[in-house]
A = this chain, B = another copy of it.
Amino acid sequence: MIQTTSVENYLKTIFHHAGIGNNAVTTNEIAASLGTKAASVTEMLKKLSAQKLIRYKKYNGVTLTDSGTKQALLIVRKHRLWEYFLVEKLEFSWDEIHEVAEQLEHIQSEILVERLDSFLENPKFDPHGDPIPDKKGIIKKTDLQKLIDVTEKKEAIVNLVTDQPELLRYLSKIGISIGSKLRVIERNTFDQSMLLLINGKNKVQISAEIAHNISVQL
């Protein structure tokens, strides 16, 4: 089904805020991200829900359905391919591409996307290093890295955790789950323990032992 530009922007925003774990996204987050008001978001969420693009329960935030995720991925694909085009072919610099790619991503033409992809020789990453989903919406997994190897100040997304029940229980207690965004604030050079900021909110100190068992994607 062909969507309006507005619907596409909502799907894309929800997709980005949900992260890898497909966490629920709140009305206010969406409003802030799109520069609209919460009331407008609520209204649109009902429409998206009616189209089965999201799962929506009043006051509970939303998650993308498979269908919604697929559509979001195709928009992301288009956005990143156009960004690649702008930088590689039209000599745009990083700071100039966003606004234009935001427009180009809404052009409706499957054949255009595929021809562009071929013309660009099927790039796997956009100029920011973000992976470009393929035509089926599949993102090539970037190489995972152990959290212990992440340098200071960097932001990483939890992708995989060694399957040890105690560890998993502990992590959930301190608020880390698949998809959580971690920023390494500080590393203790003595014991290699690290101070993390979780999802931009809570600070937690974890031991090197634990950092060894968490895989992240940068």
Contacts and interface: CB of A to CB of B under 8 A. Distances in A.
A90 B92 CA distance: 20
A100 B109 contact: yes
Please report whether the interface of chain A is mostly helix, strand, loop or mixed according to DSSP. Answer: helix
A108 interface: yes
A: interface residue count bin: 10 to 19
A138 interface: no
B103 A99 contact: no
21 contacts: A86-B112, A86-B115, A89-B119, A90-B112, A90-B115, A90-B116, A90-B119, A91-B115, A92-B111, A92-B115, A96-B111, A99-B109, A100-B107, A100-B109, A100-B111, A100-B112, A103-B107, A103-B108, A103-B109, A104-B107, A107-B107
Given A91-B115, A92-B111, 19 more contacts: A86-B112, A86-B115, A89-B119, A90-B112, A90-B115, A90-B116, A90-B119, A92-B115, A96-B111, A99-B109, A100-B107, A100-B109, A100-B111, A100-B112, A103-B107, A103-B108, A103-B109, A104-B107, A107-B107
